[in-house]
């Protein structure tokens, strides 16, 4: 069957009968994936939430796009690196909370093709993943958006949705003029682009769960979105962190397992602690963070496997898009250990 996605080639019989069941089985056996948080926040190097934490005005933050070159973002190197590390899939931030997109989208000019980079980084990575039979998982900020005029606002969603600018951000629509449906339509259009322009997708990985959880989550029409995703690419798995509705295909809690709902789970964590060693940083941190060493990574992988979970391990590419050399040798060493010893608890 030539239409089987490369990452599912070993699941041909199951795929022929039930594409998503094949994907779920693949995911359960994948064990280990690479997470990449890359965007405009990488240029600043002070955490991926820098716009909110430092209350950088929307227009000022948007100027960072003028310096986004991604000159050393090398999709082929990233894919080969994941393979060498013993990883079976890659998850990348197509659009984080700041709303900057790493793909060519007709829905906004705020994207990498309009930046000096002039490139569709998701397309490049999709092609590299396909060549290396890696699953491509696409992170997408669903609950939060700090730029879109009609994105969830603090008045209705518990104060966690947007930066608390003083004076208020003039581009945000508020009060009776605010229309969440406009934002939902924007997101569905972008997810449609991701599902139709980049070949087979392993997962759509939604983030920002605290926002719908702080209000009437039904307004987000998430089940409709899940059903739509499955209708476009039947094998695509949907996750919304630890689970927004309970109908997701897998759970993806941060740092440790949660009570399982009889479905696959991956634990997502990151190589770098936050400034001063406090918390964590998913985006590139220029200074002040501790990076995991080989034993710490092995311990995290062991804990995940003992819990029956995958480990999705993040590294934040540098401003130019290159992999962080503080993490590269560590992750390659873990990959070599996997080749010689096998995954923790399984043997070579």
Kindly report the CATH number assigned to the domain that includes residue 186. Answer: 3.20.20.80
The answer to whether residue 112 sits within a structural domain is: yes
Q: Return d(Cα 269, Cα 251) in angstroms, integer.
A: 14
Confidence grade of residue 262 (pLDDT, cut at 50, 70, 90): confident
In the predicted structure, residue 41 carries a pLDDT above the cut 90: yes
160 versus 97: which is more confidently predicted?
Answer: 97
| Coil/strand/helix, residue 162 | coil
The answer to whether residue 70 sits within a structural domain is: yes
Confidence grade of residue 1 (pLDDT, cut at 50, 70, 90): very low
Confidence grade of residue 348 (pLDDT, cut at 50, 70, 90): low
Q: Is 166 left (phi over 0), alpha (psi -120 to 50) or beta?
A: beta
The answer to whether residue 53 sits within a structural domain is: yes
The torsion angles phi and psi of 275, rounded to 5 degrees, stand at -55, 135
Which residues constitute the domain of residue 90? 6-341
83-118 pLDDT, tens digit per residue, is 999 999 999 999 999 999 999 999 999 999 999 999
Tell me the two tokens of residue 234. 């039947």
Tell me the two tokens of residue 95. 């659009």
In this prediction, residue 160 carries a pLDDT of 81
- Exposed, middle or buried by CB within 10 Å (0-12, 13-18, 19+), for 14? middle
Averaged pLDDT of the chain = 96
The answer to whether residue 136 sits within a structural domain is: yes
Tell me the two tokens of residue 214. 């702080």
Say what percent of the chain tops pLDDT 90.
93
The answer to whether residue 171 sits within a structural domain is: yes
Confidence grade of residue 184 (pLDDT, cut at 50, 70, 90): very high
Number of domains in the chain: 1
pTM for this model (two decimals):
0.97
Range 275-280 average pLDDT: 86
Range 272-289 average pLDDT: 92
The answer to whether residue 347 sits within a structural domain is: no
First to last CA, the chain: 31
320-330 pLDDT, tens digit per residue, is 999 999 999 99
Which among 345, 279, 284 is positioned nearest to 314, based on CA atoms?
A: 284
In this prediction, residue 261 carries a pLDDT of 75
User: How is the chain split among helix, strand and coil, in percent rounded to 5?
Assistant: 40, 15, 45
Least reliable range by pLDDT among 56-65, 102-111, 148-157, 254-263: 254-263
Classify each residue of 234-271 as buried b or exposed e, where b means 16 or more C-beta atoms within 10 Å of its C-beta: ebbbbbbbbbbeeebbbbbbeeebbeeeebbbbbbbbb
Say what percent of the chain tops pLDDT 70.
99
14-35 pLDDT, tens digit per residue, is 999 999 999 999 999 999 999 9
The answer to whether residue 1 sits within a structural domain is: no
Which among 194, 223, 226, 230 is positioned nearest to 23, based on CA atoms?
A: 230
The answer to whether residue 72 sits within a structural domain is: yes
In this prediction, residue 2 carries a pLDDT of 57
């Amino acid at each position: 069957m030539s239409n089987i996605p490369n990452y599912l080639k070993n699941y041909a019989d199951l795929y022929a009968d039930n594409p998503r069941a094949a994907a779920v089985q693949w995911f359960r056996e994948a064990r280990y994936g690479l997470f990449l948080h890359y965007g405009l926040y990488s240029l600043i190097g002070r955490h991926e939430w820098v716009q909110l934490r430092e209350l950088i005005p929307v227009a000022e933050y948007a100027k960072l796009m003028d310096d986004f070159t991604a000159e050393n973002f090398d999709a082929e190197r990233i894919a080969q690196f994941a393979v060498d590390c013993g990883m079976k899939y890659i998850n990348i931030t197509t659009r984080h909370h700041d709303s900057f997109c790493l793909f060519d989208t007709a829905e906004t000019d705020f994207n990498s093709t309009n930046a000096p980079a002039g490139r569709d980084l998701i397309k490049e990575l999709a092609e590299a993943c396909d060549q290396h039979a890696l699953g491509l998982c696409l992170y997408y900020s669903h609950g939060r958006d700090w730029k879109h005029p009609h994105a969830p606002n603090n008045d209705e969603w518990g104060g966690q949705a947007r930066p608390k600018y003083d004076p208020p951000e003039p581009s945000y629509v508020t009060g009776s003029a605010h229309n969440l449906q406009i934002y939902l339509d924007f997101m569905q259009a972008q997810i449609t682009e991701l599902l139709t322009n980049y070949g087979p997708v392993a997962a759509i990985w939604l983030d920002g769960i605290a926002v719908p959880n702080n209000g009437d989550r039904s307004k987000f029409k998430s089940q409709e979105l899940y059903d739509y995703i499955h209708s476009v690419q039947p094998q695509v798995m949907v996750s919304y962190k630890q689970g927004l509705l309970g109908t997701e295909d897998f759970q993806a809690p941060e740092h440790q397992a949660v009570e399982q709902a009889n479905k696959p789970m991956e634990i997502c964590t990151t190589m770098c602690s936050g400034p001063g060693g406090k918390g964590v940083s998913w985006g590139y941190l220029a200074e002040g963070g501790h990076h995991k060493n080989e034993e710490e990574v092995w311990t995290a992988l062991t804990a995940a496997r003992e819990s029956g979970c995958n480990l999705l391990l993040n590294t934040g590419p540098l401003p130019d898009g290159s992999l962080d050399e503080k993490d590269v040798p560590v992750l390659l060493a873990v990959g070599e250990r996997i080749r010689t010893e096998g995954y923790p608890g399984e043997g070579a």
